[in-house]
Amino acid sequence: MSDKKVGLSDTMKAKTEPKTFKRNPIPGTKYTIAISSAKGGVGKSTFATNLALALKKNDCKVGILDADIYGPSLPKLFSINEKPESDGQILKPIKKYDIQCMSIGFLTDEQTPMIWRGPMVTSAIKTFTQKVGWKDLDFIIVDMPPGTGDTQLTFAQEINIDSAIIISTPQEIALQDVKRGIRMFEKLKVNILGLVDNMSFFIGDDGKRYNIFGDGGVKKTADAFNKEFLGEIPINSDVGRYGDIGKPIVEADSNHEISKIYLEFASKIKRNYF
């Protein structure tokens, strides 16, 4: 019997080391962009939906996959209350704002908790990526759940992710998880397009800038890991107000200062791929 002790690091390496993964594209799509935060509560889902809408306004055909099995946000953010059609084999995405959409939230009651173990989550992800009738998409935006668990590993190991965008607020407690997320994507050889500083600052009625969650932390993290810093998105009450009524700000008011930031992000992404 071997005397070698297996520690936590060995276990993690065994689970995340990219050895013989066969990564498949999502049928019906050209490019897959994962929106990740590794930390909950930093506005990742709001970012994902508004980026999808901004890409649409940049004349791209776009879909959005809400991969947060335990806490789906797309039904609320897009005000979708219907269930997708199916022929028994393939689920048909629900189209809203000219975006093809899919979420576990379309298939369950809003108040039903998803008490699922890892294999069930993995099975759901495979269904949403391989058995959904995505059609002729330039981009599919994947709203990833927070953390670095089964869902993230399933995507990174089995799905051909063209790039990931990491969202964070600037305080250190959020950035600690972001650093773990960066290392996860690096180990799994997923390209990180860049980092976004969300809810970066607030402009008061007095016109002054208030750095509620700290200043510059996301850019410093991007620099430390040699990743591109994509920019800042300030706190603005209109973002939450439009999200609560199921019409994200880019769709509700494309001339809004926040919408213009998303449109610029989308323009950069489009130039990067086309």
Edge-to-edge strand list for the sheet holding 99-103: 94-96, 99-103, 62-66, 137-143, 29-36, 163-168, 192-198, 229-233
Pair of tokens at residue 210 = 């208030």
| Rounded distance between C-alpha atoms, residue 256 and residue 240, angstroms | 13
Question: Do the beta carbons of residue 249 and residue 238 sit within 8 Å?
Answer: yes
pLDDT of residue 14: 41
Whether residue 245 is contained in a domain is answered as: yes
pLDDT of residue 147: 67
pLDDT of residue 122: 74
**pTM assigned to the model:** 0.87
Whether residue 19 is contained in a domain is answered as: no
Whether residue 8 is contained in a domain is answered as: no
Whether residue 218 is contained in a domain is answered as: yes
Whether residue 139 is contained in a domain is answered as: yes
Number of domains in the chain: 1
pLDDT of residue 173: 81
pLDDT digit string, tens, across residues 223-257: 999 999 999 999 999 999 999 999 999 999 999 99
What CA–CA distances, in Å, run from 3 to 9, 10, 13, 15, 212?
Answer: 17, 15, 19, 22, 52
Pair of tokens at residue 68 = 């947060």
Q: Which residues in the chain show pLDDT less than 70?
A: 1-21, 109-118, 147-150
Whether residue 97 is contained in a domain is answered as: yes
Whether residue 262 is contained in a domain is answered as: yes
CB atoms within 10 A of CB 202: 15
Range of the domain at 211: 24-273
Q: Looking at residue 214, which CATH number applies to its domain? A: 3.40.50.300
What CA–CA distances, in Å, run from 26 to 76, 85, 257?
Answer: 25, 19, 33
b (16+ CB within 10 A) / e for 133-152: bbeebbbbbbbbbbbbebbb
Whether residue 80 is contained in a domain is answered as: yes
User: What DSSP element (H or E) covers 230?
Assistant: strand 229-233
